[in-house]
């Protein structure tokens, strides 16, 4: 599947937002995540299933997009 992560197209086999974050090196506990422009509550990160073409933004708590590690 392909997603757009912080503006970069990315092929991934990660089924959930949490697994995507872990696969690219982000700690899901320390970032804010938006999927399709909507803030994803921390409690939903582990269970939110990704779909092909989803736009995922990962930001620090200062509101700035984070560079991929």
Q: Where is pLDDT greater, at 61 or 36?
A: 36
What 3-state DSSP class applies to 28?
helix
For residues 3 and 15, give the distance between their C-alpha atoms in angstroms, rounded to a whole number. Answer: 11
Which domains are seen in the chain, by residue range? 2-59 (3.10.20.30)
Q: pTM of the prediction? A: 0.86
CB atoms within 10 A of CB 69: 7
| 17-36 tens-digit pLDDT | 999 999 999 988 889 999 99
| 4-20 tens-digit pLDDT | 999 999 999 999 999 99
Evaluated on CA atoms 65, 67, 56, 53, the torsion sign reads: positive
């Amino acid at each position: 599947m392909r997603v757009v992560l912080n503006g970069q197209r990315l092929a991934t086999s990660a089924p959930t937002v949490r697994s995507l974050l872990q696969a690219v090196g982000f700690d899901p506990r320390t970032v804010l995540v938006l999927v399709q422009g909507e803030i994803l509550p921390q409690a939903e990160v582990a269970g939110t299933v990704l779909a092909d073409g989803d736009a995922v933004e990962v930001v620090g708590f200062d509101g700035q997009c984070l560079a991929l590690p």
